[in-house]
Structure 1
Amino acid sequence: MDLTMELNEVLQTGTDEEKEILRLALQAIRQKRERGSAYPSGFLGLSGEFTEEGTYRFRVPITPYTLNRGGIVHGGITATLADSTMGSLINKSLPEGKAAVTVEMKINYLEAGTGKELISEARLIRLGHTLAFADCKVENETGKRIAHATGTFAILRFSG
């Protein structure tokens, strides 16, 4: 079956959840084209903001894509969110020609990921010449703390 036929089949007979996954896939493609963001960022609908000097926040709706079979946010999604928030904060704090990549991350899961959205907030602890260190809290919209993470990032030179 070709892609067009498969898409039409899901659009005509698929569940609301399946149609939502297709919408998220299109969102991921659009964000990749418009912002150059990674596909997981598009599936999650990541869009961040500085909330104060050295602090960066993402708000992410909880969608069928983020849930495990138990109906709670998959731990890997929570970890991806924390890593993305800390990485975005550090990368937006670096001068032109440098980029940060994760070299180590630790996450503690504190509560089940439930609610309407997840809010992650990363704080820059140290920005050096070769390494950066940050932490990140992940809460739901009611303020329930879902997870706490720390991360170390290598700072690299790049051309492009």
Structure 2
Amino acid sequence: MSLREELEAVLCDGTDEEREILRLSLQAIRQKRERNSAYPSGFLGLAGKFTDSKSYRFRIPITPYMLNRGGFVHGGITATLVDSTMGSLVNRSLPDERFAVTAEMKVHYLQPGRGEELISTAHLLQMGQTLAVTECRVENEQGRLIALATATFSLQKKPGL
């Protein structure tokens, strides 16, 4: 069966959940093309904003793509969300010739991820010349604390500069 035939089969005979996964796949491709973001960011629909000079936030709907077999947000998705939120905060705080990569991250999973959306808010604790330290809270729309994370980022110079 060709890719086109498989896509048509899912569109015509697939479940709502399967069609949602296809929609998220297209969203990830579109976001990669338009913003050169990573595919996981596109699957999650990440689009963040500064809430103040040292805080950055993502709000994302909980989708079938994110759920584990128990019906809760998969821990790896939560880890990706906090890493993306903290990384976005640090990278958007740096001058154009610099970038950050995760050097260390710790995630405390406090409650199962459930609800309508996840709100991930990162705070910059310390920005040095070579390292940045951040923390991040993930809550659902009801304010229930799902996870708490900290991370250290290595600050690098872009190649060729």
TM-score, scaled to structure 2: 0.98
For 1:130, the equivalent position in structure 2 comes to: 130
Q: In 2, Cα distance between the equivalents of 1:27 and 1:96?
A: 27
| Structure 2 partner of 1:107 | 107
**Distance (Å, rounded) in 1 between the aligned partners of 2:80 and 2:51:** 20
Residue 53 of structure 1: CA displacement? 1.3
**5 Å matches for 1:8-157?**
8-157=8-157
The CA deviation at 1:159 is: 3.9
Report the alpha carbon displacement of residue 92 of structure 1 after superposing the two structures with TM. Answer: 0.1
Give me the whole-angstrom Cα distance separating, in 2, the residues matched to 1:24 and 1:96: 30
3-state DSSP of counterpart to 2:37 = coil
Q: What residue number does 2:158 align with? A: 158
Q: Deviations over 1:10-36 (max 9, x none)?
A: 101100000000000000000000111
Gaps of 5+ in 1: none
**What is the distance in 2 between the residues matched to 1:130 and 1:5?**
51
Instruction: Say which SS state the counterpart of residue 123 (structure 1) adopts.
Output: strand
Cα deviation code 1:41-79 (max 9, x no counterpart): 000000000001100000010000000010000000001
Q: What is the deviation of 1:125?
A: 0.4
Q: Partner letter of residue 13 of structure 2?
A: T
Q: In the aligned structure 1, how far is the partner of 2:29 from the partner of 2:116?
A: 24
Distance in 1 of aligned mates of 2:17 and 2:101: 33
CA distance in 1, matches of 2:79, 2:132: 18
Root mean square deviation of aligned Cα: 0.8
Aligned residue pairs total 160
SS of equivalent to 2:82: helix
Q: Which amino acid aligns with 1:149?
A: A
| 1:13 partner amino acid | D
